[in-house]
Amino acid sequence: VFISAPAANTGAIYIGDADVSTTRGIEMAKGTTLRLDAPEGQFLDLYNMWVDAATNSDDFNVSYLVKVN
């Protein structure tokens, strides 16, 4: 999973659980990308991942790969 905060954003975005906020979560500065890898043989559940932005109009992008057998 790749989560990106576009360089055009005004402020940071924050990644976390349902309680994420600008004071609680992983802070990502604009123009950065965070890579999250699942342990071997497991997966990441995006359903439990939440994003908050310091500025209401800021964006984020999520990209992921699906393993096909």
Model pTM score? 0.83
pLDDT in single tens digits along all 69 residues of the chain:
999 999 999 999 999 999 999 999 999 999 999 999 888 888 888 898 999 999 999 999 999 887 777
- CA-nearest of 62, 3, 56, 46 to 27 is 3
DSSP letters along the chain, please?
-EEEE-TT-SS-EEEESTT-BTTBSEEE-TTEEEE--PPTT----GGG-EEEESSTT---EEE------
Task: Report pLDDT for 67.
Answer: 74
